[in-house]
Amino acid sequence: MLIGAHVSTAGGLPRVVERAEELECDAIQIFNQSPRMWRPTRYEQEDFDSFREAFGPSRLQSVVIHMIYLVNPATSDRELRRKSLGSLTHALRVGEGIGADGVVIHPGALKGDTRARAKQRAVKLLTEALAETESCPMLLENTAGSPALLGLGFEELGELIDKCGGGERLGLCIDSCHLHAYGYDVRSREGVTELVDELDSEVGLERLRCLHLNDSKDERGSNRDRHENIGRGQIGRDGFRAFLGEPRFGDLPALLETPGPDGHGPDRRQIRATKKLLAEAAR
């Protein structure tokens, strides 16, 4: 398993690799632009070349992009749809430029509409974005925080992937905090085995491309998406030993999105501590 973290792109793409090396990451996740603004960062080919040149000899083995927070593939608002499609296609093209293993995206929110119509709109937008780009995979992430979100469980995620055509570029990213918040048991070996069995049945294990590692401030089934540092929340250290010890997760990138010691993301000690839990889980 490739333990890493979400890393800032401040200072340019090559600086990302330096930062990741300092953190002792084996994999990284980045935003391709400011996550709370629509304005895209304009990259040139030399930016991509510089990133690849730095990435190649580094310890890093995987990079993924996370979509900005403003995007809603299920929206009925025409302007928001236009912006969401443009932002997603831009991220996929940046992913192609840097050789990313995927662009992680939340499937969308109902915003007062029916679930059926929201799913139809999300499928249409996601399919269009795939058609307008060439190679970078799109990874749907399981969600939590509101019953009005799409992709809360594996059955619906599998349905969305199938309706998007089920091509090889469609994959899945699962978040430990989101799973816990929705009600899956990620704290015991038996629970993790059961949820991966369900994932395999509803989506297909071959589509699982990435893990997000986050503890939870809230109880299982709370449907509250509040990340906590690994081992400090309701999942706990024993829970992460169970989660990380699932053999079918193999050598996936496993990325911390935790608040860290100062609210600015995980530090090297947290990366090392998570690697230690992984080693303990394998014993």
Residues 162-218 pLDDT 10s: 999 999 999 999 999 999 999 999 999 999 999 999 999 999 999 999 999 999 999
Model confidence at 282: pLDDT above 90: no
- Report pLDDT digits (tens) over 124-146: 999 999 999 999 999 999 999 99
User: What's the fold here for domain 2-281?
Assistant: TIM Barrel (3.20.20)
For a pLDDT cut of 90, what percent of the chain falls above it?
96
d(CA 232, CA 238): 11
Q: What is the mean pLDDT of residues 37-47?
A: 94
Output the average pLDDT for the chain. 96
Give me the active site residues, please.
Answer: 36, 66, 69, 106, 141, 175, 178, 212, 225, 227, 257
Give the model's confidence band at 41: pLDDT under 50 very low, under 70 low, under 90 confident, else very high.
very high
pLDDT score recorded for residue 72: 98
φ and ψ at residue 275, rounded to 5 degrees: -65, -35
φ and ψ at residue 63, rounded to 5 degrees: -135, 135
Give the model's confidence band at 241: pLDDT under 50 very low, under 70 low, under 90 confident, else very high.
very high
Which burial class, exposed, middle or buried, applies to 116 when counting CB atoms under 10 A from its CB (0-12, 13-18, 19+)?
Answer: exposed
Give the model's confidence band at 14: pLDDT under 50 very low, under 70 low, under 90 confident, else very high.
confident
What's the pTM?
A: 0.96
pLDDT score recorded for residue 176: 98
**For the chain, domain boundaries:** 2-281
CB under 8 Å to 101, separation ≥6 — which residues? 62, 63, 64, 137, 209, 210, 253
